[in-house]
Amino acid sequence: MTHEPADATRPSRPLRPLIARDRDQEHRAATPLELFFDLCFVVAVAQAGMQLVHAVAEGHAGAGLRDYAMVFFAIWWAWMNFTWFASAYDNDDVLYRIMTLLQIAGVLILAAGISDAFTDHDFLLVWLGYAVMRVALASQWLRAARHASGPERTTALRYAGGVLACQAGWSALLFAPGAAKPWVFLVMACAEMTVPLLAERGRGRSTAWHAHHIAERYGLFTIIVLGESIAAATVAVKEGAAENDALDDLLPIAVGGLLLVFAAWWVYFVVPAHARLRTTGRGFLWGYGHYLIFATAAAVGAGVEVAVEQSVGKAPISDTAAAAAVTLPAALYLLLVWALHARYFKFGIAQQLVLPTAALGVLLCTFAGDWAVLAAGLVATAAVATGVTLTARTATHRTGVV
């Protein structure tokens, strides 16, 4: 397998071989192109959250969650496939940049079709945007195969073939009757997630992704979805206060939502995820599990919007339903972050129980009426404070410092 040297200064040629990068390269960080790629995904995340708000606020939570899960999978999977490919093969030449910009165009097309997917189950624009992204990605894999040999070339060809085959399979969404579309989604989502498992099956077939770089990229996307939650909640509170002069009623929701997002950021970044990726090799479980982490983080902001609309009388749902729109995704987020990597850095039963207990506490806040969101935020904040205290005590005992 050919690798780009860790300390090589990449020449300023318009085109150069798309070869694997060094897995042990020092100081590997996200590139400006990757940051721009993430930024454009904000549009799609915002559209998915907005449609979820409308569905839940109108009393169609079940259908809204189903459609949200489908659309968010397309967003997440396209982002994830690019991220892992870039971690292994980004050579930043002209052709690589053009193909990446083409994928960005694809996600913007997808974002434009999200409202039709929710309201009419019309997936044409979503499929078209997804097709643009996937064909561009398959082209990148074929280019990598051209400059590779042996198992690495086989892996790249498997990826290209799997991506194109799955894209053809997604066409069934355009022709299947409405009731069958969720089943088509389920089958194709499973097929998509099988492609990397099959492509990298066998000795010497693992792509040369960089553990620290992957952890940073996932962290950046977590910040994006949390930021989108803050933005959505801020706009909702502002509009609610301006249109209904109900700042007193909205203030507890605003404070509670902000505390939840702060706590969500804290618990995610308190552990060095790259260390676990490097030492255990469980990249698939960690990477796939983030579908729910990203989806629930974005859903918290949507839930706060629902709570605001219910508080000012614009959403004909109960107090409990409005509170659940916030507490359910927040509790699931805390539990998932603990299960995926936080628990591997905790010592003793007390530290291990902080996040699961906090998730249960946030869930119970659903029944706190008008104060549910604020109560959930305070529970999450208390969990962070408890975790910090326990960690400090553990460090003191280990070092013997008083």
**Pair (169, 229) in one structural domain:** no
- Residue 106's Cβ-count burial label (10 Å; 0-12, 13-18, 19+) is buried
Provide the sign of the torsion angle of the four alpha carbons 107, 111, 116, 119, taken in this order. Answer: positive
**Pair (103, 177) in one structural domain:** yes
**Pair (298, 253) in one structural domain:** yes
The whole-number pLDDT of residue 280 equals 46
The whole-number pLDDT of residue 107 equals 93
Residue where a domain terminates, one of 199, 231, 262 = 199
Question: Does 206 map to a domain?
Answer: no
Question: Does 20 map to a domain?
Answer: no
Residue where a domain terminates, one of 199, 234, 261 = 199
Average pLDDT value over all residues in the chain: 85
Write the CB contacts of 98 (distance below 8 Å, at least 6 apart in sequence).
none
Residue where a domain terminates, one of 137, 164, 199 = 199
Question: Does 261 map to a domain?
Answer: yes
pLDDT band with cut points at 50, 70 and 90 for residue 370: confident
**Pair (92, 118) in one structural domain:** yes
Rg (CA), the chain: 22
Report DSSP letters for 175-210, one per residue.
HS-GGGHHHHHHHHHHHHHHHHHHHT-STT------
**Pair (135, 237) in one structural domain:** no
pLDDT single digits (tens) 276-329: 776 545 677 888 999 999 999 999 989 998 998 888 878 888 889 999 999 999
Tell me if 391 sits within 8 A of 351, measured CB to CB: yes
CA distance 276 to 199: 23
Query: What are the structure tokens assigned to 351, written together?
Result: 């530290």
pLDDT single digits (tens) 372-394: 999 999 999 999 999 888 877 76
Domain harbouring 324, CATH code: 1.20.1410
**Pair (264, 194) in one structural domain:** no
User: Phi and psi at residue 376, in whole multiples of 5°?
Assistant: -65, -40
Question: Does 36 map to a domain?
Answer: yes
Instruction: Work out the percent of the chain whose per-residue pLDDT is above 70.
Output: 91
Containing structural domain, residue 276: 211-399
**Pair (264, 299) in one structural domain:** yes
**Total tally of structural domains belonging to the chain:** 2
**Pair (176, 87) in one structural domain:** yes
CA distance 256 to 306: 14
pLDDT single digits (tens) 6-46: 443 454 467 778 887 877 778 788 899 999 999 888 889 98
**Pair (150, 263) in one structural domain:** no
**Pair (251, 389) in one structural domain:** yes
Question: Does 329 map to a domain?
Answer: yes
Question: Does 22 map to a domain?
Answer: no
**Pair (149, 218) in one structural domain:** no
Question: Does 92 map to a domain?
Answer: yes
Question: Does 24 map to a domain?
Answer: no
Q: Looking at the whole model, is its pTM more than 0.85?
A: yes
The Cα-based distances of 259 to 179, 253, 310, 324, 365 in angstroms read 39, 10, 20, 16, 14
**Pair (235, 305) in one structural domain:** yes
